[in-house]
Amino acid sequence: MRRPSLLLALLLTLPAFAQAPAQAPAEDDRRSDEHSYAQPDKVRIGDLALDLAVDFADRQLAGHATLTLAWADPEATELVLDTRDLAIERVEARNGSRKWREVEFALAAEDERFGSKLTVSLPRQYEQVRIHYATSPEASGLQWLAPSMTSGGKTPFMFSQSQAIHARSWVPLQDTPSVRFTYTARIRTPADVMALMSADNDPQAARDGDYSFTMPQAIPSYLMAIAAGDLVFKPISDRVGVWAEPQVVDRAVKEFEDTERMIEVTESLYGPYRWERYDLLILPPSFPFGGMENPRLSFITPTVIVGDKSLVSLIAHELAHSWSGNLVTNATWKDMWLNEGFTSYVENRIVEELFGKARADMEFTISRNGLREELKDIPEERQVLMLPARAGSDPEDALGAVAYDKGAWFLQFLEQRFGRETFDAFLRSWFDQHAFQSATSEQFLAFLEAELMARQPDAVTREEVMTWLTAPGIPDFAPAIESPRFAAVDAARADWLKNRKTARDLPTAEWTTQEWVYFLEGMPESLEPARMVELDQAFRFTGTSNGELAQRWYPLSERSEYFEARPAMSLFLRKIGRRKLIMPTYEALVASEEGLAFATQVYAMSKAGYHPITQGSVEAMLAKARKATEESTK
């Protein structure tokens, strides 16, 4: 998944409740998942068969899930699953093809973060358990959009977001990345609606309201995905294409036409693409993330379709997950860097191969600058790659710049010490030898020591490696990146700030999005309103269709009291639901009492179009600001 905004990890820290998975694992047992009720040491799901109907009127999925079980403990007769806000009608069990037998189940009291533990009591170790259930209209992992919130305006839309632990809100299962399973599904929708899943979507499938899917490769629960709406398909290559609403599909195909080349580049570096097809689903702008790496069908925000391919590194990122994350998965969210750090590193290698080293260096520099800023606000114990186990913690705490950018930085450090050719072969071997498995940091460390450090003992010390993995901050010996193009941006910004040149006289004609982002990020905390007017007249930042610029311009506008930007800012916040893009503006607004009132008004108009995940983030920020305002007036 493309990294959410840097403040999200801080905003989503809710209090722990008594019904949470109670005990943190022992320090030497990083496979134990404190974010799941499941007991995979006793029994594991091997296969899942779904039969669900999509009800747009009631905002509900209803039907049954059949779990095929692999028992590990010969004495176990309970199946413990993760659920959130599911209405369980009944549970049945059987062996082989015998008749289903109804069995007892208990749904524990709900924990606000982790949902409800579902315990199925079995008289013997059955091969299959079937759960009849329905989802809640407020399911945290599903968003239901009225036709007015879509591009076409005529057909409703529904899509899922299962990472990190939202799969449990639409399927009862073992919601932990340590458990992988295959799945099949039958999905029924209104006849005019196309359904897709993270499975074998057929580009030639007839739109008839009755769809079947198979995912033959074993995946963890967070990679299960579903979507339904007015969707059409257009190919990019024999194995790559775009699903989108008809109004969007042509622009998306043009923007992402290099996707096949990205696959070929990655295959040349790290081995074959093992998922048959790689398609992109372009979601409505309410999608809370940049992208989600659902196997065979990456979910993509439309905010990266800007017409010049300047933001297609997001596609490189989601594609890279086909090796790092989907193929080799972190066993628990404590080791999120094994997914996102590896993926961010591979993403940058793809960008370098396709668009040149200058662009790759600029993107790495922007990411690392963001990491340094984020570290200022993160407690030291959460600045490490190998996060400690914390009972009751939110797994989304790990979805920040540490996992993504510090992780990628560490891998670049290893690349430079061992040499690129050697390190590429090492990574390919890591993916090959751990394919379709869930791994821990200890496994990676052991593999690194055996495959590289033992063969080149003078390249890297264990102390250096452990500093990266377990010490806060960035090591003093981290490799630096210099970008001549950013040096030119620094010079231009300084010329303007010191009144040596007007904004219109700056040499910006050939700047890319990356240079404009760096230009804005280097501005002072605030500027005089007259200077904001000068910038806006020269470069038309207000109303920009480029979300990467908007997420930096509008907060600067608010801090600089450049209120002329507010109408366009309001429209931006109402139109876009991607958290990374909108949260910095909300943060700037709530810093003042008047801005908080404006933010509250805008959110009231925007809420219906935001995903539940985004709603929770904005509401937490608004509530925190209101509390601070109230306390300051006492």
Nearest CA among 203, 195, 194, 186 for reference residue 226 = 195
Q: Which of 452, 470, 488 is the last residue of a domain?
A: 470
Task: Specify the CATH number for the domain of residue 628.
Answer: 1.25.40.320
Residue 198: HSE in the Cβ half-sphere, 13 Å Cα cutoff: 26
Alpha helix ranges (H) inside 275-405? 313-320, 337-355, 357-375, 401
Distance, in Å, from the CA atom of 286 to the CA atom of 308, rounded to the nearest integer, reads 22
Here the tokens at position 588 are: 């700037």
Nearest CA among 476, 153, 427 for reference residue 284 = 153
> What's the pLDDT score for residue 516?
98
Question: Do residue 280 and residue 422 come from a single domain?
Answer: no
Q: Binding site for Zn(2+): residue ranges?
A: 317, 321, 340
Q: Rg of the chain's alpha carbons, rounded to an integer?
A: 24
> What's the pLDDT score for residue 121?
98
Distance, in Å, from the CA atom of 486 to the CA atom of 82, rounded to the nearest integer, reads 48
Q: How many residues does the chain have?
A: 634
Question: Do residue 132 and residue 185 come from a single domain?
Answer: yes
Sign of CA dihedral 481, 358, 383, 404: negative
Pairing of β 180-188 and β 328-330? unpaired
Domains contained in the chain, number: 3
The torsion angles phi and psi of 408, rounded to 5 degrees, stand at -65, -35
> What's the pLDDT score for residue 393?
85
The greatest distance separating any two alpha carbons of the chain, rounded to the nearest whole angstrom, comes to 84
Question: Exposure of 102 by Cβ count < 10 A (0-12 exposed, 13-18 middle, 19+ buried)?
Answer: exposed
pTM of the model: 0.92
Distance, in Å, from the CA atom of 315 to the CA atom of 291, rounded to the nearest integer, reads 8
Within a domain: 19: no
Question: Do residue 308 and residue 360 come from a single domain?
Answer: no
Here the tokens at position 297 are: 């069908």
Q: Which of 470, 497, 516 is the last residue of a domain?
A: 470
Within a domain: 17: no
Question: Do residue 261 and residue 374 come from a single domain?
Answer: no
Question: Do residue 302 and residue 345 come from a single domain?
Answer: no
Question: Do residue 61 and residue 131 come from a single domain?
Answer: yes
Write the DSSP string, 3-54: ---TTHHHHT-PPP-TTS---PPPTT-TTS-TT----TTTEEEEEEEEEEEE
Within a domain: 205: yes
Task: Specify the CATH number for the domain of residue 125.
Answer: 2.60.40.1730
> What's the pLDDT score for residue 3?
60
Question: Do residue 94 and residue 213 come from a single domain?
Answer: yes
Structural domain range at position 136: 33-320
Question: Do residue 218 and residue 303 come from a single domain?
Answer: yes
Tell me the helices (H) and strands (E) count for the chain, helix number first: 19, 20
Distance, in Å, from the CA atom of 31 to the CA atom of 332, rounded to the nearest integer, reads 6
Q: Which of 470, 500, 516 is the last residue of a domain?
A: 470
Q: Binding site: residue ranges?
A: 161-163, 288-293, 317, 321, 340, 578-580
Buried-state track 436-465, b at ≥16 Cβ within 10 A, e below 16 = eebbbbebbbebbeebbbeeeeeebeeebb
Here the tokens at position 211 are: 């769809």
Question: Do residue 342 and residue 459 come from a single domain?
Answer: yes
Alpha helix ranges (H) inside 325-461? 337-355, 357-375, 401, 407-418, 420-433, 441-448
Distance in angstroms between the alpha carbons of the first and the last residue of the chain = 43
> What's the pLDDT score for residue 6?
42
C-beta contacts of 538-544 below 8 A and 24+ residues apart: 538/502, 538/503, 538/504, 538/506, 539/503, 539/508, 542/568, 542/569, 543/568, 543/571
Question: Do residue 539 and residue 563 come from a single domain?
Answer: yes
Write the DSSP string, 152-189: SSSS-EEEE--TTTTGGGTS-B--STT-EEEEEEEEE-
Residue identified by tokens 């967070």 is 222
Within a domain: 244: yes
Here the tokens at position 92 are: 């049945």
Q: Binding site for a peptide: residue ranges?
A: 161-163, 288-293, 578-580
> What's the pLDDT score for residue 8?
42
Active site residues: 318, 404
Sign of CA dihedral 340, 385, 19, 175: positive
Question: Do residue 296 and residue 346 come from a single domain?
Answer: no
Cα 83 from chain centre = 21
Within a domain: 519: no
Distance, in Å, from the CA atom of 365 to the CA atom of 361, rounded to the nearest integer, reads 6
Within a domain: 479: no
Question: Do residue 308 and residue 338 come from a single domain?
Answer: no
Within a domain: 503: no
Task: Specify the CATH number for the domain of residue 432.
Answer: 1.10.390.10
Q: How far is CA 323 from CA 293, 326, 339, 344, in A?
A: 11, 6, 9, 12
The type of residue at 109 is: A
Within a domain: 511: no
Q: Mean pLDDT per segment of 10 residues, for the chain of length 634 residues? A: 51 41 54 94 98 98 98 97 98 96 97 96 97 97 92 94 96 98 98 97 94 98 98 98 97 98 98 98 90 97 94 97 98 96 98 96 95 94 92 83 97 98 98 97 97 97 98 96 94 98 97 97 96 97 96 97 97 94 97 96 93 91 93 78
